[in-house]
Amino acid sequence: MFVEGTCFSTVWERYAFDRQFRLLVFDAIERVEVSLRTKLAYELSREGGPFGYLSPDNLPRLKPVQYDRFIHTCRDKIERSREPFVEHFLNQYGDCHDLPPYWMIVNTMDFGQVLTLYRGAPAEVRGGIADELGLSARVLESWLVSLNTVRNICAHHGRLWNRVIGTKPAIPNAKRDGRWHEPYTVDPNRVFCIVTILSFLLEKVAPQTKWRDRMFDLFNRYPAVPKEDMGFTSGWQRCPLWSAWVKPATDA
């Protein structure tokens, strides 16, 4: 919808902000994805052996049709791959194995496949990974679904900054983690929730990150972009998940 009085400079400013915001979000999702790949490869190979994914018994939460689709995609990715580590493995061990071990196969997967791997993993593996992050397996899975959606938006240059995310992430209940509820409730429908999730996860997987500073710097460079449309509504700075990181000069 075109708002009367809108000028080209306003449109350009919001486009430029959104482009830089997408790159920032994409960077954070990439770090989370790499961490999850690594953890899944380690835990699943310890649980079912280096080639455990080749048996559906080791991914018990996948239905037969889901498992078959997953393996078909794995084979397709390996056949198409030109990664040196894949070529080396096939040259050295291709007479015994047509697919590589966990720690290689995960590095040919896209985020959707990594999500499928997590969904299919035994309850002990799913729960253990989630517990290390201070989450339930149900909440972590919902976060991964939402992050996969957002990753695809970023990868295809879609508008993100004021978007309502169709795959709404679950919020930890107040008993498990009250920081999501008091004194400010995180709205799962808005992008504010996505950046809060990313901030939360980066604190676990990349605690030295300057990602939040980069986000605040971006906001300060574009003060005219209405952050309320992103879900940064009045009082968000008091959210315990953000209060330690908010700079006094930030006006988002």
| Per-residue model confidence as pLDDT tens digits over 104-122 | 999 999 999 999 999 999 9
Q: Is the model's pLDDT at 6 over the cut of 80?
A: no
pLDDT of residue 2: 59
Residues 202-224 have a mean pLDDT of 95
Q: Is the model's pLDDT at 155 over the cut of 70?
A: yes
Averaged pLDDT of the chain? 94
Residues 123-148 have a mean pLDDT of 97
- In which region does residue 231 sit, left (phi positive, over 0), alpha (psi from -120 to 50) or beta (all else)? left
Distance from the first to the final alpha carbon of the chain: 24
Residue 252 maps to a domain: no
Residues 152-160 have a mean pLDDT of 95
Q: Is the model's pLDDT at 73 over the cut of 70?
A: yes
Q: pLDDT tens-digit profile of 157-188?
A: 999 999 998 899 999 999 989 999 999 999 99
What DSSP string runs through 167-213?
A: SPPP---TTT-GGGTSSSPPPTTSHHHHHHHHHHHHHHH-TT--HHH
At 71 the three-state DSSP class reads helix
Share of the chain above pLDDT 90, in %: 90
Give which of 161, 149, 142, 122 is closest to 44, Cα–Cα. 122
Residues 224-242 have a mean pLDDT of 94
Residue 220 maps to a domain: yes
Q: pLDDT tens-digit profile of 13-67?
A: 999 999 999 999 999 999 999 999 999 999 999 999 999 999 999 999 999 999 9
Residue 250 maps to a domain: no
Residue listed under structure tokens 């504010």: 192
CA angle at 57 for the pair 51 and 59, rounded to the nearest 5°: 75
pLDDT of residue 246: 87
Residue 225 maps to a domain: yes
pLDDT of residue 9: 83
pLDDT bucket at 7, cuts 50 / 70 / 90: confident
Residue 2 maps to a domain: no
pLDDT of residue 250: 45
Residue 24 maps to a domain: yes
pLDDT of residue 251: 46
Count of structural domains within the chain: 1
Other residues' Cβ atoms within 10 Å of the Cβ of residue 62: 19
Residue 249 maps to a domain: no
pLDDT bucket at 8, cuts 50 / 70 / 90: confident
Residues 86-90 have a mean pLDDT of 95
Residue 244 maps to a domain: no
CA distances (Å), 59 to each of 103, 105, 121, 131, 202, in order?
16, 15, 5, 19, 27
In whole angstroms, what is the distance from residue 163 CA to residue 184 CA? 21
- Domain of 199 in residue numbering reads as 8-238
